[in-house]
Amino acid sequence: METQLTEQENNRALEMLTHIEANPDITQVTLADELGVAVGTINWYLKRLISKGYVKVKRAQRKKLRYIITPEGIALRANL
């Protein structure tokens, strides 16, 4: 069952997509600091964005991830 995001969740997703696009190598800790939320919140949103196909994850180094916005993510951001 597909659930819709609330307006607040849409706003947070938009903020995250904007930050990820500006810096694909951003860490969850840095993203949380910049957005003023807990790392767990960032993790929850990222998992949701990844599962919906809006963001892909690539391993940049052994312990470093790179987040890539997909064309669907770009379209979502344009619609928000």
Domains of the chain: 7-79 (1.10.10.10)
Torsional class of 13: left (φ above 0), alpha (ψ -120 to 50), beta (otherwise): alpha
Q: What local confidence, expressed as pLDDT, does residue 4 receive? A: 64
Contact (CB, 8 A) for 54 and 69: yes
Between these two residues, 30 and 9, which has the higher pLDDT value?
30
Q: What local confidence, expressed as pLDDT, does residue 76 receive? A: 84
High-pLDDT (> 70) share of the chain, %: 94
Weakest-pLDDT range from 11-15, 27-31, 61-65: 61-65
Q: What local confidence, expressed as pLDDT, does residue 5 receive? A: 65
| One-character DSSP codes across 24-70 | TT--HHHHHHHHTS-HHHHHHHHHHHHHTTSEEEEEEETTEEEEEE-
- Each residue's pLDDT tens digit, 25-62: 999 999 999 999 999 999 999 999 999 999 999 987 88
